[in-house]
Amino acid sequence: MVRIVRAKEKTKKKPGRPTKLRIEDQILSDPYRNRHRRFGLRSNLIAGICNYELAL
């Protein structure tokens, strides 16, 4: 999911002011419309980050 957001950021024609938050924090703090779907995606992202850090 982070790779998708980074790729989308690179394709913007007018990037604007840089954000203060990391991409991971932007995903978690973004207002969402389809709550159930996005909640599942966010849960999977958090679980993936935790598993990655535990594997190190």
pLDDT tens, position by position, 8-56: 777 777 767 777 878 777 777 766 566 667 777 888 888 988 998 888 7
Cα-based distances in Å from 41 to 27, 34, 49, 50: 10, 11, 12, 14
pTM: 0.40
How many domains would you assign to the chain?
1
**pLDDT recorded at residue 29:** 72
Domain range for 39: 2-55
State the first-to-last Cα distance of the chain, in angstroms, to the nearest integer. Answer: 20
Q: Tell which residue, 39, 7, 37, 44, has the closest CA to residue 23.
A: 7
